[in-house]
Amino acid sequence: MAAHTVTDPLEELWNHTMSMDKTHLMCFYPSKITMGGVWTGDNPLDFSIPLLLFQILLITSTTRAATLLLSPLRLPTYISQILAGFLLGPSVLGHLPHFSNLVFPVRSLFVLESMALLGLVYYTFIVGVEIEVSAITRAGIRSFGFAIGCTLPPFLVGALTGYVALSTDDKHKDDTFLNKLSFPIFLGSTFSSTAFAVLARNIAELKLAGTDVGQLTLSASLINDTFAWTGLTVATVLGHSRCTITQTTWTLTSGVVIFGASYLLLRPMLLRLARRAAEGEAVGEDRECWILIGVMVAALVADAGGTHAIFGAFVFGLAVPNGPVGVALVEKVEDFVVGALLPLFFALSGLRTDTAKITNMHSAVLLMVAAMVAAVLKVVAAIGVAGVFGMPLGDGTSIGLLLNTKGIIELVILNIARNKGIMSDQSFTVLVFVSALITAMVSPFLGMVVKPARRLVFYKRRTVAWAHPESELRVLACVHVPRDVPPLLTLLDVVTPSSRSPVGVLALHLIEFVGRSSALLLINASAPSSSSYDASAYGRPAAVVGAGAGAMSVDFGGDSVAMAERTASGRRPWARPGV
């Protein structure tokens, strides 16, 4: 149909009303954006801005309350966010009279979903920034083995289940061959996906960041996430209606061009900026703002190219190197995006989760069984890969359970599939519940399998042996909080340093990266050194300053350096006030 300009809205409304081919029509009033005040008789929920602010407050407060209630169970935040959206949806509070029409009317969902997608764009950008591509390339053959073993079996189960579901559904009988490939790829990517951000925090809480299991799981998760994003992109392209081979080829080509342009054009400029920042030059507010604007440009280009806006933001984030630039950008947007905008996405997912839409129990049970089988196959495959590399079977079980952690990526895949009509409301509801159930089951099973006491076993063979009393005793003193200082001073007092038997102290100030999953990637760094200091004139090697256990940044304080120098010469610096 040829496009035409509407000159008279009333005439257009009349023609639409009298037409035999009617569609849903929404009317919006420009004067309904801001209100004149309750004193003039206006209802805040009748206006766009007050209603949006009320929805954000309701969603964030409900999410925080659910997180607080579930905190004793030590479940991931992802569970509480899903639960908050489910409570606000039609399955629970939606049953109250007029609740949905008052709080979440249809006219407000366009604005709410736009805000949620904007938050999702910047969240995927943050995930891309936190993923260092070089960590994947140096992960080693074992990480690739676990990634492939824990990705292919679930993907095949999902693809086979999707093919069976399509073959028995008359609604997709007229779809093209490419369209029919979309749902199996969506389902396979959903079953094989792993949430790196959620997984990184789980590993930190379980004290596994410094273990072989934690390192292998994080590396395998990075590779797994890359595969999931690739599957999401391909499935999104194939899911377009009236999709032809030529259109599919051009869409995939545009995605490759976006990826190549980010790495060939954008990354060199950001690397130069990162080198300047490492040398002490400030990143600058103007440069940070230009990068954040570039995220929107990349998302717009990707959406216009036919992939998805979040793909452009994710690739843009991958091009940002780890370091001062990445940290500055994450600190600029993470708290607001994760705390205020991302819960909107989970709430909208909850609004779409309706248990009343589950009408075909046979298909629902089949989907649940397939998802559970895929989760079990991940664990079995991890155990098999561990056996191939001569690792304990308990470590393989732990890695398989950890790689079953679900999160935002799976929910993004499900929402895109539902919005494009590739997935029914029933399948969406079932898979959201199964995703939350599998993630909730990971922690209890890990508690039975993981033995945190086994981490860093090779240190158990070390003892304090001072074969040469006249030589220097080197002590690494790590200070995180002020209460760590008195025990260290007591230890130094016990060893009684003197000029004949000096004690060399390297005092480190540890600063925790709170809530930064990217900090866990530092455990994979081959040489995590950033600065050095020659603590005394005894010719000792310079102290390497790096991140401890992947969650600490190290800093030499002035008093700490003075303490190292004075202790090496046999004097007692702890007698000086203020140290």
What are the tens digits of pLDDT across the range 253-308? 888 888 888 888 888 888 888 887 766 667 778 888 889 999 999 999 988 887 77
301 or 44, which is more confident: 301
pTM above 0.75, yes or no: no
Does 50-449 carry CATH code 1.20.1530.20? yes
User: Which residue intervals of 150-266 are DSSP H helices?
Assistant: 152-167, 177-192, 196-205, 212-238, 245-261
Do 135 and 226 contact (CB within 8 A), yes or no?
no
- How do residues 492-516 score in pLDDT, each as one tens digit? 777 777 777 787 888 888 766 544 4
Do 303 and 310 contact (CB within 8 A), yes or no?
no
- Across the chain, mean pLDDT equals 75
Count CB neighbours of 355 within 10 A: 14
Q: What is the structure's pLDDT at 575?
A: 35
Q: What is the structure's pLDDT at 558?
A: 38
- Name which of 23, 49, 15 is nearest 35 in CA terms: 49
186 or 149, which is more confident: 149
- Averaged pLDDT for residues 81-103: 86
239 or 540, which is more confident: 239
* Amino acid occupying residue 121: V
Q: What is the structure's pLDDT at 385?
A: 93
577 or 325, which is more confident: 325
The winner for highest mean pLDDT among 389-403, 447-461, 518-532 is 389-403
- How do residues 116-156 score in pLDDT, each as one tens digit? 999 989 988 988 887 766 665 666 788 889 999 999 999 99
* Six token digits for residue 258: 């976006």
- Name which of 306, 331, 324, 326 is nearest 316 in CA terms: 326
The winner for highest mean pLDDT among 90-94, 171-175, 558-562 is 90-94
Q: Does the pLDDT of residue 458 top 70, yes or no?
A: no
254 or 548, which is more confident: 254
Share of the chain above pLDDT 70, in %: 73
185 or 2, which is more confident: 185
The winner for highest mean pLDDT among 52-66, 73-87, 551-565 is 52-66
Start and end residues for every CATH 1.20.1530.20 domain found in the chain: 50-449
Name the DSSP class of 541.
Answer: P
Q: What is the structure's pLDDT at 556?
A: 37
Q: Does the pLDDT of residue 250 top 90, yes or no?
A: no
Confidence at 359, pLDDT banded by 50, 70, 90: confident
How far CA 119 is from CA of 196, 278, 335, 416, 504, in Å, comes to 18, 29, 11, 15, 50
Do 196 and 517 contact (CB within 8 A), yes or no?
yes
- Name which of 214, 222, 191, 201 is nearest 438 in CA terms: 191
Q: Does the pLDDT of residue 542 top 50, yes or no?
A: no
Q: Does the pLDDT of residue 170 top 80, yes or no?
A: no
- Name which of 156, 212, 203 is nearest 184 in CA terms: 156
Q: What is the structure's pLDDT at 564?
A: 37
Name the DSSP class of 39.
Answer: G
8 or 549, which is more confident: 8
Tell me which residue has tokens 């995220």: 295
* Six token digits for residue 535: 């603590």
Written in H, E and C, the secondary structure of 468-505 is CCCCCEEEEEEECCHHHHHHHHHHHHHHCCCCCCCEEE
Confidence at 411, pLDDT banded by 50, 70, 90: confident
Long-range contacts from 48-55, C-beta under 8 angstroms, 24+ separation: 48/108, 48/111, 51/105, 51/108, 52/108, 52/111, 52/112, 52/115, 54/103, 55/103, 55/104, 55/108, 55/112, 55/344, 55/347
Q: Does the pLDDT of residue 547 top 50, yes or no?
A: no
* Six token digits for residue 82: 């899903």
Q: What is the structure's pLDDT at 153?
A: 92
How far CA 574 is from CA of 490, 505, 509, in Å, comes to 9, 13, 16
553 or 393, which is more confident: 393
The winner for highest mean pLDDT among 154-163, 342-351, 464-473 is 154-163
Do 193 and 410 contact (CB within 8 A), yes or no?
yes
Q: Does the pLDDT of residue 467 top 80, yes or no?
A: no
- Averaged pLDDT for residues 238-256: 71
Q: What is the structure's pLDDT at 381?
A: 94
- Averaged pLDDT for residues 44-61: 89
Q: What is the structure's pLDDT at 186?
A: 84
328 vs 275: CA distance, rounded Å:
14
Name the DSSP class of 338.
Answer: I
Q: Does the pLDDT of residue 158 top 50, yes or no?
A: yes
58 or 425, which is more confident: 58
Q: Enumerate the β-bridge partners of residue 477.
A: 507
Lowest mean pLDDT among 179-193, 240-254, 364-378, 552-566: 552-566
Over its C-alpha atoms, the chain yields an Rg (Å, rounded) of 28
Q: What is the structure's pLDDT at 138?
A: 63
- Name which of 245, 246, 240, 261 is nearest 307 in CA terms: 240
Lowest mean pLDDT among 185-199, 260-274, 341-355, 527-541: 527-541
272 vs 426: CA distance, rounded Å:
50
